[in-house]
């Protein structure tokens, strides 16, 4: 591992059941990133807090509606943190190979491969 700090990536979906936990697992062993996943719904497995938003260097949401909700509920905590929409619908089970590929390609389009 390098001496430079790892970039903190936060993955957000609705219920933190399939998409964002899959993203967290995909990048969990990365030497470049620290990762967390959270959900916006009151029924989320791990619900998003301002502390999570403040922790992140970069945030990825799965759908445009989630970006809107995150901005509405956490705008002050978000400050200037980059917020990216991956455009992945809630059509996949955990670790579905197509979901994994969409997450990888979407994140790499923003942060580069590696």
Residue-wise pLDDT tens digits, 45-76 = 999 999 999 999 999 999 999 999 999 999 99
Confidence of residue 113 (pLDDT cuts 50, 70, 90): confident
Check: CB of residue 99 under 8 Å from CB of residue 75: no
Domain coordinates in residue numbering, the chain? 8-111
pTM: 0.95
Residue-wise pLDDT tens digits, 37-53 = 999 999 999 999 999 99
Closest CA to 84 of 15, 24, 11, 31: 11
Check: CB of residue 60 under 8 Å from CB of residue 12: yes
CATH class label, 8-111:
alpha beta
């Amino acid at each position: 591992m390098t001496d430079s700090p790892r970039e903190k990536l936060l993955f957000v979906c609705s219920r933190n059941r399939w998409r964002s936990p899959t993203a967290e697992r995909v990048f969990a062993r990365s030497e470049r990133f620290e990762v967390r996943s959270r959900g916006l719904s009151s029924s989320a497995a791990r619900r998003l807090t301002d502390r999570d938003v403040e922790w992140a260097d970069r945030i990825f949401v799965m759908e445009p509606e989630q970006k809107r909700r995150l901005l509405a509920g956490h705008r002050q905590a978000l400050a200037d943190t980059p917020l990216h929409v991956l455009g992945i619908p809630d059509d996949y089970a955990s670790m579905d190979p197509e979901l994994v590929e969409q997450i990888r390609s979407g994140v790499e389009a923003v942060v580069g491969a590696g």
